[in-house]
Structure 1
Amino acid sequence: MTFASLPDRRADLDPHGPAISDATGSLTNAQLLSRVRAAARHLQHRGIGPGDVVALKLANRSEFVVLLFATWRLGATITPVNPALTDVEVARQLADSAARLLVVEDGPTPADDVVTLRVADLYDAPVAADPAPPADTSAPALLIYTSGTTGVPKGVMLDHTNIDAMAEMGAQALQLGEADRCLLILPLFHVNGIVVSVLTPLLAGASVVIAGRFDPRTFFDLVESERPTFFSAVPTIYSILAALPNEVRPDTSSLRFGICGAAPASAELLGRFEDRYGFPLLEGYGLSEGTCASTLNPVSGPRRAGTVGIAFPGQEIRIVDPNGTDMGVGMDGEVVVRGPNVMRGYLGRPDETARVIVDGWLHTGDVGHLDAEGYLTLVGRSKDMIIRGGENIYPKEIEDVLAGHPSVLEAAVIGVPDHIWGEVVVAYVQPAPDSTVDPAALHALCTQKLSRYKRPTSIVVVEAIAKNAVGKIDKNTLRAAHAPAPS
């Protein structure tokens, strides 16, 4: 099966069962299928067919999901566009992906040669049964553009084999069933929002509640009214929720777990959150190039704080040195991944594809180690490693120490040039709500917990730490903003 035919299967099995909902209303399985058929007819009328690319520049809403299935029904490909991008950035993605149609909330297209469709104009009237959806699992399904912190964004090519495999793995690892209900709060322009929060629960027979932008003031109201059984979020969201006033005591009894990914979270944050709200957080790890997820702390079984869990069923994880030789248990090296979830490659970039996929193994650029039971601990990005006087320093260790202080919401550590040491450690910290950060207290904490060479030479307090579109800390922006250390 490909996801092009999932709406048909759900409508056959349970036509009146819940499928998706957003702030404007809900769709049963039969209604979802009807809307998908109508949207597919509209796309056909706009000239979309097999091999074409449809760009979606939309906020989180049900029509995004409808258009996913409608596009795949025609054998075409979806490229999601971050609504916050500038016209120049949107035009670059449209040109690189060769998109033929752009679906928008409103307004003109940023590229003259791409047809624009306002989402409010999308057909929704019932249409007669259409031809059977294509079953070619090698057809491209998603073209996901990386966040671009290392340069111009690249198009990650994911075919139906990739997303089918990832959703099957996810449903198995998360032990999802028809009674589950996912609350989507991450953006749908990112692979996590699409695959983990929409496709995986729908494949398992579960339903999805689509929320708008995350708002800590209303998040738990949504939990209490919609009664989800799980959701995915980034560490920043969990940090904000953990810092809410003590009188905030929501009913979280419907939640089986929360998933924490996209960036490393400290063991202290995970423990503090779970103690307060009464449901576990499952930290996981993955990349867009691996269709989102490769490891997860188990739903049933030991959860090891500070690790990102074990490999998803059907995936393999190795730790290798620069020559590709396997490292021993507990030894740091590059994390490499193999499985049917690994991307086809970067669009139009064969040389870069060949550098990151070697003999079927995806080279992640992340550094970590495995324990004897296969739990993965990340220590940083290879490109983020700081070398001070010949000593290798991974920022995550320092960030975890700083984030453990109650006055700190989030921390980011970078290396800056130094004429004596080569690089020195500089930390940026964002205060927790209603808190004031005392840099002297943080320096004292680092003195207590870190070797001398790992301690920050300076701690910069900022109102907000720079992030990219998917909530990861943007260290390139921090490096660019920071002047070299004084001589």
Structure 2
Amino acid sequence: MSTVSYLHNPPSGSYQYITINDVIKKNAEIIPNTEAFVYRPADGPRQSITYGELYKRAVVVARFLVSSGVQKQDMVGLFGPNTLARIVAEFGIILSGAVVLQLNIEYKNAEDAIDILDKSKCEMMFADPGNNDQYLSIIESLETSEENNPQRRQYILLRETKSTRLIHKVIDEITTQAEDDVILPKVNPEDDAFVFTTSGSTGKPKLVVHSQFFMTISLKAIPDATTGIKILYNDRPFCWIGGSVVMSSMLGQTRVFTDPTMGTTENGIKKIWDIMREEDVMTSSLMPYHIYDLIKEATSIPDDGYRLEMIASGGQIVDNFYTQVIGRFCRSIIIGYGSSEAAGVSYSMLIKEGDFIETGKIGPPIPGVEIRIVDDDGCIVATETHGNIQVRSALLMKRYHMDTALTSAMFTNDRPPWLKTGDIGLLTSSGDLIVQGRTSDTIARGGRKILPGAIDDLVKKMEGIRDVVTVAVPDTRMYEEACVCYISSELTPAEVQSYCENNFINKVSLDGMGSMPRYFLKFNEFPTAFTGKTDKKKLKTEAARRLNLD
């Protein structure tokens, strides 16, 4: 075994030089009557779509896009909660040769999305106004409210709306307007396929670009334990890379999902468990806070003998507490590690009843991935020595869209380059990766990365605020929570909280949480370091103490 912190797991087989479009069409031909997706809404009947029907409807959408002037590699926006209509729209965009611009809007005035759409020169957008038009005001905010100002982009809404302001079509309408003789463009594996948004250091989202090839070769990187699964559960927002609808469909699996917000509500995990049991789900992708809830509700959820074969989890540091779910709710768990930029990096071996999870321990690299640990000067360190985690593989993002400087900063100057994950960890002498935290101030809440600076920038606009620093405080369920620490002679915590609630999308966000902070603390002064700057470490400690979280 090497004494330096470097690991490489060779690919498990040859890569296939194919596109997502090839796989979608093939599955529609081979398993046309198999359910591709099953939607179990919080309120309403079961809904599903087969592989044959999905392909047929997606082709119609693709032809409409092409006949409407959408060119190959144009970006088409997509926003809204998890629904079957959203899946049809996404596959239609892919089949048209365009790029899916996944939008995860955080602010009620949609200022974060407006910047993305303008930067991407996006002229066509699919959007879902939601039940009772709950997202309509956000969508309308994407356009100017000034009269006599032309609408900047064309909107295809994924359900009916009462809006009279927005010029739009509804997705069901375009099925009668698409021309059957429209020829869809030939797509290449290296073509851009997706843009995922993720937290940026300036407070503006970064646009992570992945290719068609990225998704097709990902099939070689998934754990063997999951490839034979026929029915799986994953309710992560479709706009997240971990919630992408493409992977399960390329494997020919049936993916069951519900509203991501259900897991954040009271008794939500009980409803999710009932859905999985009723659908005979074999494996489930659950966030650590879902597993936490299952463990806490173990005595109140009836035990009828149903067990998941496996639970896959990740998104935050996991410890041995979570093994309590094994035996009662599942036969094994697997812990994964990755990011929007790196995609999959590492996953654990199957963890079974009686096994122990060392805090932060993941496992070896997934097939085709290299991992190394370096110090702050970029020099590789010895095994069992913590440092900065860097990865290299064919799964890495292509670039940050329209930001060459940020892209260059994310990669090393090596050839081929390494991607800097921004995480701290170590490689053990036995060949496992242990993740220990972040190099930045990013707050990890339930798998979502929250940028404190973005919250600070918003709160600073509030009249009466002298200074503000948002910090992470510990949380037994979500791992970390956001706490706004501020200095003001007049504003109460309740007033600052109300201001944030009026600006951040909270309970109606795509994951039911958004970036809304949980705690608000008023200070007379902040602790300072010898440089005179705020000592964030001491501030975090004091915030946790005042909240009785230390």
* Residue among 32, 37, 50 paired with 1:20: 37
**4+ aligned runs moved over 6 Å, structure 1:** 300-303, 466-483
Residue pair 2:323, 2:356 contacting (<8 A) in 1 also: no
Give the aligned partner of residue 209 of structure 1: 256
Match status 1:38 vs 2:60: yes
Partners of 1:481 and 1:337 in 2: CA distance: 41
Residue-by-residue CA offset, 1:217-256 (whole Å, 9 max, x unaligned): 3111111111112222222222222222612135574522
| Counterpart pick for 2:121 among 78, 98, 106 | 98
In 2, are the aligned partners of 1:80 and 1:143 still within 8 Å (CA)? yes
| SS of alignment partner, residue 367 of structure 1 | strand
Structure 1 residues 167-217: Cα deviation after superposition (integer angstroms, max 9, x where no partner): 3312x544413x5212121111111100xxx32222222121232123223
Q: For the structure 1 residues 175 and 486, does the alpha-carbon distance in structure 2 shift closer, same or farther, using more than 3 Å as the test?
A: closer
**What are the within-5 Å matches in structure 2 for residues 316-335 of structure 1?**
316-335=370-389
Task: Describe the shift of the 1:221–1:142 C-alpha distance in structure 2 as closer, same or farther (beyond 3 A).
Answer: same
Instruction: Work out whether 1:365 is the aligned partner of 2:422.
Output: yes
Post-superposition offset of 1:374: 1.9
Determine if contact 2:193/2:212 at 8 Å carries over to the other structure. Answer: yes
Structure 2 CA distance for partners of 1:130 and 1:154, relative to 1, 3 Å: same
Partner in structure 2 of residue 406 of structure 1: none
Whether 2:473 is the aligned partner of 1:428: answer yes
Which structure 2 segments of 5+ residues have no match?
1-17, 41-45, 130-135, 144-150, 160-169, 453-470, 479-496, 498-503, 530-550
Write out aligned runs for 1:179-198 (5 A). 179-194=229-244, 198=245
SS in 2 for 1:231: strand
CA separation of 1:186 and 1:173: change in aligned 2, threshold 3 A: same
Aligned residue pairs: how many? 414
Say if 2:310 and 2:330, in contact at 8 Å, map to a contact too: no
1:300 is displaced (CA, Å) by: 8.4
User: Do the aligned partners of residues 281 and 262 (structure 1) sit closer, same or farther apart at CA in structure 2, a change above 3 Å counting?
Assistant: same
Alignment partners' CA distance in 1, 2:522 and 2:225: 40
Does residue 1:232 correspond to 2:285, yes or no? yes
Deviation readout 1:95-143 (Å, 9 max, x if unpaired): 2222221211234541341211111321456985864662311111111
Letter in 1 for 2:23: L
Q: What is the CA distance between 1:30 and its match in structure 2?
A: 1.2
Which structure 2 residues correspond to residues 310-349 of structure 1 after superposition, within 5 A? Answer: 310-349=364-403
* Contact 2:307–2:331, Cα closer than 8 Å, also in 1: no
Considering fraction of residues, name the structure with more helix: 1
How far apart are the structure 2 equivalents of 1:61 and 1:252?
31
Equivalent position of 2:153 in the other structure: 114
User: Quick check: 1:140 aligned with 2:192?
Assistant: yes
Q: Which amino acid aligns with 2:295?
A: A
Match of 2:436 among 371, 374, 379: 379
Unaligned runs of 5+ in 1: 386-394, 400-411, 415-425, 434-461
Q: 1:143 to 1:160 in 2, by over 3 A?
A: same
| Distance of 1:209 and 1:137 partners within structure 2 | 28
Residue 2 (structure 1) aligns with: 19
Aligned counterparts, 1:246-325, within 5 A: 246-251=299-304, 253=306, 255-268=308-321, 270-291=322-343, 293-299=344-350, 304-306=357-359, 307-325=361-379
* Structure with higher RCO (Cα < 8 A, 6+ apart): 2
Task: Report the identity percentage.
Answer: 21
CA 1:469 to 1:381, structure 2 compared with 1: closer, same or farther past 3 Å?
farther
Distance in structure 1 (CA, Å) of the matches to 2:274 and 2:318: 25
1:101, 1:311 → 2: CA distance? 39
Conserved? CA contact 2:215–2:247, under 8 Å:
no
Q: CA deviation at 1:366?
A: 0.5
143-152 or 73-82, larger mean C-alpha shift: 143-152
1:88 equivalent among 73, 96, 111: 111
Q: In the alignment, residue 26 of structure 2 is paired with which amino acid? A: R
Note if contact 1:224-1:251 (Cα within 8 Å) is conserved in structure 2: no
**What SS class does the counterpart of residue 308 from structure 2 fall into?**
coil
Cα separation, partners in 2 of 1:174 and 1:56, compared to 1, 3 Å: farther
TM-score by length of 1: 0.76
| Amino acid in structure 1 at the alignment position of 2:251 | A
Aligned to 1:219: 272
Distance change in 2, residues 1:427/1:338 (3 Å) = closer
Q: Indicate the larger mover: 84-93 or 221-230.
A: 84-93
Given that 2:307 and 2:329 are in contact with CA atoms closer than 8 Å, whether structure 1 keeps it comes out as no
**Displacement after TM superposition at 1:279 (Å):** 2.9
- In structure 2, what is the equivalent of residue 76 of structure 1? 98
CA contact (8 A) 1:295 1:309 kept: yes
Distance in 2 (CA, whole Å) between partners of 1:478 and 1:485 is 19
Matched, 1:484 2:526: yes
RMSD of aligned Cα (Å):
3.5
**Partner of 1:417 in structure 2?**
none
Does the 8 Å CA contact 1:51/1:75 hold for their aligned counterparts? Answer: yes
> What's the offset of the Cα at 1:68?
2.1
| Cα separation, partners in 2 of 1:44 and 1:284, compared to 1, 3 Å | same
Partner of 1:437: none
